[in-house]
């Protein structure tokens, strides 16, 4: 793992932080059982800030948490696996090992395996895991760093998927931490969210900690509170409007006065977190949300994205799409359009109006609501759309047509 070294020109200091291991269950003030993690040791972290500043950055993308949770939710059985000291399973090239030198009371040492603290460590590890499970991801397993979530539509299918994932780990010498693994369970905590057959919920353990917080007394406290609450903002309707008095105090030229409006916003956010709803994978009710999009605007987008020389504009009116769990476009609304052009329009609509964003909007609006697409966002490319916040994609129509 490490070896002594005395002639390295790269030396970094050491810091120790608590390490959370197994799970336990405790009771809160309301006698509810809350799962929480126990501290089983300490991580030895190296301050590699100077080394990171001199390193060329690896821009391999990490997964979008919301999209991964949507794929994981609504399954009856799960298996949660955890890699054993994940980063340490990646070897470092011999020529670069001296750059990881750290100092401690016993001398200076360098790593043979990839340690925590390197700026490119997460991207490197995610690339390795994606390469190992490339043909299984989104089919039976979701991988985020060293957390592997296996799922199945039934007990037998989940067990079969687990066997395939474990066989892949054995083939690639990937070691798992059995103390953190859970097999054939009906719910579990994934990246701060509880997933089960019903949908996605907040982690009660994290909410319980936030409920114990006292009103902020400094700007740093407000920034910390909004950061933690913002992690679950998809569960809170009009989060930005509720938090507006607190956000105002973060401005540089505003005097810090925690008045009654701020206290009310603080309490409202905590109450909203306690009563956070479950994000479903389906629409309930007789009238699901509907989306409308200008035909002309869609034609121009197809022309821009796919370099089509000429498009005939049939009409400038709006067409309405009914959304039932996922986006289903009725191609019969496009009368007189060539089949190949219809396929391109189907692709563009799928990119613009992903089912994930529709579910989020449905959480905050009554059934049968009519939405239209944000005109500014409609001009973005596919790559830009990928990074566009979901709450900016759709806007509710002020007038509901009959």
290-313 pLDDT, tens digit each: 445 555 555 555 555 544 433 333
pLDDT of residue 155: 94
Q: Which residues contact 356 (CB under 8 A, 6 or more apart)?
A: 66, 67, 70, 390
Give the pLDDT mean for 229-249: 86
Cβ atoms of 367 and 288 closer than 8 Å = yes
pLDDT of residue 87: 86
Domain range 213-274, CATH class: alpha beta
Q: Which is more confidently placed, 372 or 150?
A: 150
Give the lowest-confidence range in 83-87, 252-256, 310-314, 382-386.
310-314
pLDDT of residue 204: 84
Q: Which is more confidently placed, 218 or 388?
A: 218
| Phi, psi dihedral angles at 131 (to 5 degrees) | -65, -40
Sheet architecture: strand order including 102-104: 2-4, 107-111, 102-104
Per-residue confidence band for 117, with pLDDT thresholds at 50, 70 and 90: confident
Integer Cα distance of 69 and 39 in angstroms: 26
pLDDT of residue 210: 84
One-character DSSP codes across 110-130: EESBPPTT-TTHHHHHHHHHH
Say if residue 326's pLDDT is above 50: no
The domain ranges of the chain are: 2-200, 213-274, 290-396
pLDDT of residue 316: 37
Report pLDDT digits (tens) over 37-95.
676 777 778 889 999 999 998 888 878 888 788 888 889 999 999 988 888 889 999 99
Integer Cα distance of 44 and 38 in angstroms: 18
Fold of 2-200: Alpha-Beta Plaits (3.30.70)
pLDDT of residue 209: 81
Integer Cα distance of 393 and 372 in angstroms: 9
Asked if domains 2-200 and 213-274 share a fold, the reply is yes
- What average pLDDT does the chain have? 74
Q: Which is more confidently placed, 179 or 318?
A: 179
Tally the C-alpha atoms within 13 A of residue 198's C-alpha that lie toward its C-beta.
10
pLDDT of residue 75: 92
| Per-residue tokens: 351 | 């990119």
Under DSSP, the state recorded for 47 is: -
- Pairs from 19-28 (Cβ < 8 Å, separation ≥ 24): 19/43, 21/179, 21/180, 22/179, 22/180, 28/208
Give the pLDDT mean for 161-182: 91
Give the pLDDT mean for 222-248: 87
């Amino acid at each position: 793992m490490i070896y002594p070294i005395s002639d390295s020109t790269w030396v970094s200091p050491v810091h120790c932080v608590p390490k959370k291991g197994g799970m336990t269950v405790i009771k809160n003030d309301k006698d509810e059982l809350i799962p929480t993690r126990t501290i089983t040791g300490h991580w030895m972290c190296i301050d590699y800030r100077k080394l990171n500043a001199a390193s060329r950055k690896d821009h391999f993308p990490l997964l979008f948490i919301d999209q991964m949770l949507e794929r994981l939710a609504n399954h009856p059985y799960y298996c949660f696996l955890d890699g054993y000291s994940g980063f340490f399973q990646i070897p470092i090239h011999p020529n670069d090992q001296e750059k990881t030198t750290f100092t401690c009371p016993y001398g200076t040492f360098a790593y043979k395996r990839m340690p925590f603290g390197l700026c490119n460590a997460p991207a490197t590890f995610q690339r390795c895991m994606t390469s190992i499970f490339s043909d299984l991801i989104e089919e039976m397993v979701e991988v985020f760093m060293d957390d592997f979530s296996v799922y199945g539509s039934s007990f037998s299918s989940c067990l079969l998927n687990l066997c395939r994932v474990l066989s892949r780990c054995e083939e690639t010498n990937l070691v798992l931490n059995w103390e953190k693994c859970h097999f054939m369970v009906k719910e579990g905590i994934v990246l701060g969210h509880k997933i089960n057959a019903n949908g996605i919920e907040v982690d009660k353990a994290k909410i319980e900690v936030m409920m114990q917080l006292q009103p902020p007394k400094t700007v740093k406290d407000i920034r910390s509170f909004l950061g933690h609450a913002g992690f679950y903002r998809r569960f809170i309707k009009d989060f930005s409007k509720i938090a507006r008095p607190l956000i105002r105090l973060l401005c540089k030229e505003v005097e810090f006065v925690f008045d009654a409006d701020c206290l009310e916003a603080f309490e409202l956010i905590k109450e909203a977190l306690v009563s956070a709803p479950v994000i479903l994978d389906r629409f309930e009710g007789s009238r699901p949300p509907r989306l409308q999009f200008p035909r002309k605007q869609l034609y121009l987008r197809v022309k821009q994205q796919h370099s089509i020389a000429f498009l005939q504009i049939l009409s400038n009116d709006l067409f309405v799409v009914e959304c039932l769990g996922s986006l289903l476009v009725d191609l019969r609304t496009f009368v007189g359009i060539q089949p190949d052009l219809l396929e391109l329009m189907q692709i563009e609509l799928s990119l613009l109006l992903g089912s994930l964003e529709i579910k989020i909007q449905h959480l905050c609006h009554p059934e049968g609501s009519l939405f239209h697409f944000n005109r500014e966002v409609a001009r973005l490319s596919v790559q830009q759309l990928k990074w566009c916040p979901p709450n900016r994609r759709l806007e509710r129509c002020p007038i509901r047509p009959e």
